[in-house]
């Protein structure tokens, strides 16, 4: 079912870009866990728009309102429902789109699925805005994981043709995450970050947009978590990460690069160090046979350029079939990648917490 995810910790996401509210229901959390709501808000702020000159100036009031599941700041075993009211919606902008689908948006596919009854305003429930409840759920799951010594962090691995350093797949750790979190632009190599920002500016100035890659790591992950065949870490993490609009690819460990390697290059030898068995390299991205090896879980996902661009595009009227020239009004993120970083962390947190709790 479209809006549900998880087995033991179950997440339900609802809402449309311009509905009364959007929100999440999270069931299966252990009772008695104290949630730090300031930390939740800080996490969600990383996703919120209007943070800087690269982001859409729309000011969403992403204030989370807890409807259930919390008593005296602690989980009570009942599902948490959290909502975010949609206060800043200008539905007038979207009238024409009902019949003239925007390229690379869900408009046409949604129209075909729902016989035109889909909510077109702001992309309806296909909107990137639905990642706000995802981030709420992820922030909660992350706190649960941190209580078990598991940390999740991500950075921008590339924007357009400019790449950041990769995480050190063997040694990446909590301190690396903290360093990235302290930066306004979440990269490892700030010099590369400057070039990335330039790619975004250039796209913006040209009425265009640009994509990128996000790399995410899970550290402190115990060995033995996961399952083979259909329920492994790769199956579930990918299923969650593709829930973020604009993700078009995912790879674990050496990923696509491993397809170009010899076995003798790609295989990670086992060694024993200080009484702990680990691998010398980490091309397997911390996952063997769908199960965690105890090494950092590493994955990267590809984010396509923002579909909404200022340039004129070609489309057709769904009803009449007539060609149309489409110019998308409003102001949009020229690059969604920076705001997608916490979303990727959130998706990973939801999956890992579901296995662990």
Residues 306-345 that bind a copy of itself (CB under 8 A): 306-309, 311, 313-316, 318, 321-323
Cβ distance to a copy of itself smaller for residue 81 or 349: 81
Interaction between residue 272 and a copy of itself (CB under 8 A): yes
Cβ distance to a copy of itself smaller for residue 14 or 39: 14
Q: Show the tokens assigned to 91.
A: 């539905």
Q: Which of 118, 143, 192, 282 binds a copy of itself (CB under 8 A)?
A: 118
The minimum distance between CB 266 and a copy of itself, in angstroms, equals 5
Residue 81 · residue 70 · CB < 8 Å: no
Cβ distance to a copy of itself smaller for residue 28 or 181: 28
Q: Which of 109, 165, 171, 198 binds a copy of itself (CB under 8 A)?
A: 109
The minimum distance between CB 169 and a copy of itself, in angstroms, equals 13
Binding mask 70-99 toward a copy of itself (x if CB under 8 A, else -) reads -x--xxxxxxxx-x----------------
Q: Considering only 45-53, 110-118, 171-179, 189-197, which stretch makes contact with a copy of itself by CB under 8 A? A: 110-118
The minimum distance between CB 182 and a copy of itself, in angstroms, equals 25
Paired sense of beta strands 247-252 and 297-303, if any: antiparallel
The minimum distance between CB 157 and a copy of itself, in angstroms, equals 9
Distance (Å, whole) CA 342 – CA 132: 10
Cβ distance to a copy of itself smaller for residue 175 or 323: 323
Residue 337 · residue 211 · CB < 8 Å: yes
Q: Considering only 3-11, 56-64, 144-152, 188-196, which stretch makes contact with a copy of itself by CB under 8 A? A: 3-11
Binding mask 120-139 toward a copy of itself (x if CB under 8 A, else -) reads -x--xxx---x---------
Burial 291-316 (b: 16+ CB within 10 A, else e): bbbbbbbbbbbbbbbbbbbbeebebe
Distances (CA, A) of 330 to 35, 265, 281, 334: 37, 50, 47, 12
Q: Show the tokens assigned to 16.
A: 């449309």
Give the Cβ contact number of residue 327 at 10 Å: 11
Distance (Å, whole) CA 172 – CA 216: 10
Beta bridge mates, 270? 279
Cβ distance to a copy of itself smaller for residue 1 or 182: 1
Give the Cβ contact number of residue 113 at 10 Å: 11
Residues 132-191 that bind a copy of itself (CB under 8 A): 158, 160-161
Comparing CA positions, the residue from 257, 266, 253, 237 lying closest to residue 344 is: 237
Q: Considering only 165-173, 184-192, 302-310, 338-346, which stretch makes contact with a copy of itself by CB under 8 A? A: 302-310
Interaction between residue 31 and a copy of itself (CB under 8 A): yes
The minimum distance between CB 67 and a copy of itself, in angstroms, equals 4
Comparing CA positions, the residue from 345, 162, 114, 348 lying closest to residue 239 is: 348
Q: Which of 42, 198, 270, 329 binds a copy of itself (CB under 8 A)?
A: 270
Burial 150-187 (b: 16+ CB within 10 A, else e): bbbbbbbbbbbebbbeebebeebeeebbeebeeeebbb
Q: Which of 39, 51, 103, 356 binds a copy of itself (CB under 8 A)?
A: 103
Interaction between residue 262 and a copy of itself (CB under 8 A): yes
Cβ distance to a copy of itself smaller for residue 74 or 183: 74
Distance (Å, whole) CA 305 – CA 204: 11
Q: Considering only 37-45, 168-176, 177-185, 268-276, which stretch makes contact with a copy of itself by CB under 8 A? A: 268-276
Comparing CA positions, the residue from 99, 83, 105, 28 lying closest to residue 316 is: 99
Cβ distance to a copy of itself smaller for residue 188 or 295: 295
């Amino acid at each position: 079912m479209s809006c549900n995810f998880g087995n033991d910790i179950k997440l339900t996401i609802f809402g449309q870009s311009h509905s009364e509210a959007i929100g999440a229901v999270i069931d299966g959390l252990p009772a008695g866990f104290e949630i730090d709501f300031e930390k939740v808000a800080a996490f969600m702020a990383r996703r919120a728009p209007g943070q800087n000159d690269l982001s859409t100036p729309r000011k969403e009031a992403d204030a989370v309102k807890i409807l259930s599941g919390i008593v005296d700041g602690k989980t009570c075993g009942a599902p948490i429902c959290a909502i975010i009211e949609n206060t800043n919606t200008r539905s007038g902008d979207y009238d024409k789109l009902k019949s003239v689908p925007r390229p690379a948006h869900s408009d046409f596919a949604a129209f075909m699925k729902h016989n035109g009854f889909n909510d077109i305003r702001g992309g309806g429930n296909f909107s990137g805005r639905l990642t706000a409840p995802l981030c709420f759920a992820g922030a909660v799951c992350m706190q649960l994981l941190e209580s078990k010594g598991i940390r999740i962090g991500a950075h921008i691995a590339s924007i357009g043709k400019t790449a950041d350093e990769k995480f050190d797949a063997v040694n990446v750790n909590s301190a690396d995450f903290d360093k990235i979190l302290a930066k306004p632009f979440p990269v490892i190599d700030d010099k590369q970050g400057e070039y990335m920002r330039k790619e975004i500016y250039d796209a913006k100035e040209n009425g265009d947009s640009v994509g990128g890659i996000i790399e995410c790591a899970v550290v402190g992950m115990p060995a033995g978590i996961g399952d083979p065949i259909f329920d492994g870490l790769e199956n579930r993490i990918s299923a969650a990460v593709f829930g973020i609009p604009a993700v078009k690819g995912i790879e674990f460990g050496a990923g696509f690069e491993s397809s170009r390697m010899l076995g003798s290059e790609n295989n990670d030898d086992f060694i024993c160090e200080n009484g702990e068995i680990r691998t010398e390299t980490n091309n397997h991205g911390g996952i063997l046979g769908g199960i965690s090896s105890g090494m950092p879980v590493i994955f990267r996902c590809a984010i396509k350029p923002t579909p909404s661009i200022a340039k004129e595009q070609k489309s057709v009227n769904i009803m009449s079939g007539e060609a149309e020239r489409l110019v998308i009004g409003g102001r949009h993120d020229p690059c969604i990648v920076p705001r997608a970083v916490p979303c990727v962390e959130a998706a990973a947190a939801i999956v890992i917490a579901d296995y662990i709790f």
